[in-house]
Amino acid sequence: MRVVVLTGAGISAESGLSTFRDSGGLWEGHDPMQVATPEAYDDDPGLVQRFYDERRAALARVRPNAAHDALARLEARLGEDLLVVTQNVDDLHERAGSARVHHIHGRLRSAWCTTCDERHPWDGPLGDRPPCPWCGEATLRPDIVWFGEIPYGMDLVERALGECDLFVSIGTSGVVYPAAAFVHWARGTTLELNLEPSAGASDFAESRQGPASRLVPAWVNELLGEGPGTST
Ligand code: APR
């Protein structure tokens, strides 16, 4: 069985990372339009860099939760038949043990040089304008896909969705495109696992509500025929 899983901020919420739309539209106290657009970066690069430096540093203080662990367990069984597509810029899937993870919105632990176009693994701050390790210019920015920019690897995602038997959406509000349209691109049956019905809940064949740390392990058990499943 070929499975594509889409994850959003909700899967990392119980690890202690804040979601985008659950606290009055603010993300860590900021309007996303003031920190997550190319225009915001042009206007005030220092503010945007500091914001992402804080987010990057926060990764060291959090750990994967039972939902990330369950998806890693699923990959151990399904191998190449599972692809996790995430909108998250954290690294909690990888730290839980998932290897087949595609970050359509980029990654906090990567820096992109706008002069030479190289990308570099990055764990420290960018706000102090360090030189690019490749070309030496102080033009590194977070390797994050901001509003108005093109998500990474959509051809790969479209192909996987067109070939999948099951598409599962976890912890995403379903309001940001293109991810919100994946349910329509999926060839197979569709399932949503979210704290509350998302904006697109009625597009899924089935929608289950609850915290990801409970719903995801239960669904994985169900799929693998290991132990009790969950009720809707
Ligand atoms: N378990 C399951 N779902 C949860 C949990 C939880 N513990 N906590 C919150 N949720 C759900 C919320 O109900 C909400 O529907 O997760 C969803 C989070 O939605 P958003 O904050 O909108 O995050 P996301 O869908 O990932 O945002 C998409 O928008 O700002 C951009 O680029 C950013 O990748 C992000 C994209």
List the CATH number of the domain containing 81: 3.40.50.1220
Together in a domain, 2 and 80? yes
pLDDT at 32: 83
Chain-wide mean pLDDT for the chain?
Answer: 94
Tell me how far the alpha carbon of residue 10 lies from the centroid of ligand 1, in angstroms: 4
Known binding residues for substrate: 52, 55
Lowest mean pLDDT among 10-24, 71-85, 175-189: 10-24
What distance in Å separates the CA atoms of residue 121 and residue 71, rounded to the nearest whole number? 24
According to the model, what pLDDT value does residue 232 have?
47
Q: Is 30 a catalytic residue?
A: no
- Residue 101 and residue 115 in one domain: no
Q: How far is the CA of 167 from the centre of ligand 1 (A)?
A: 17
Q: Does one domain contain both 100 and 161?
A: yes
The answer to whether the peptide bond before residue 142 is cis (omega within 30 degrees of 0) is no
Ligand 1, closest atom to CA 20? 21
Among 144, 164, 194, which residue terminates a domain? 144
List the catalytic residue out of 68, 93, 103, 105: 105
Statement to judge: residues 9 and 71 lie in one domain: yes
Residue 230 and residue 128 in one domain: no
Number of domains in the chain: 2
Whichever domain contains 136, its CATH number is 3.30.1600.10
* Residues 166 and 54 occupy one common structural domain: no
Same domain, yes or no, for 127 and 222?
no
Say if residue 93 is in the same domain as residue 202.
yes
CA 102 to chain centre: 8
β 206-209/3-7 pair status: unpaired
Q: Output b/e per residue, 63-72; b: 16+ Cβ within 10 A.
A: ebbbbbbbbb
Measured from the Cα of 212, ligand 1's closest atom is 1
pLDDT tens-digit map of 196-214? 999 999 999 999 999 999 9
193 and 173 both lie in a single domain: yes
Q: Percentage of the chain with pLDDT > 90?
A: 88
Q: Say what the pLDDT of residue 216 is.
A: 98
Range of the domain at 173: 1-17+65-105+151-232
> How many whole angstroms separate alpha carbon 15 and alpha carbon 65?
6
**Closest ligand 1 atom number to CA of residue 14:** 7
Residue of minimum CA distance from atom 25 in ligand 1: 172
Which residue's C-alpha comes closest to atom 19 of ligand 1?
A: 173
Shared domain check, 181 and 73: yes
Q: What's the pLDDT at 24? A: 66
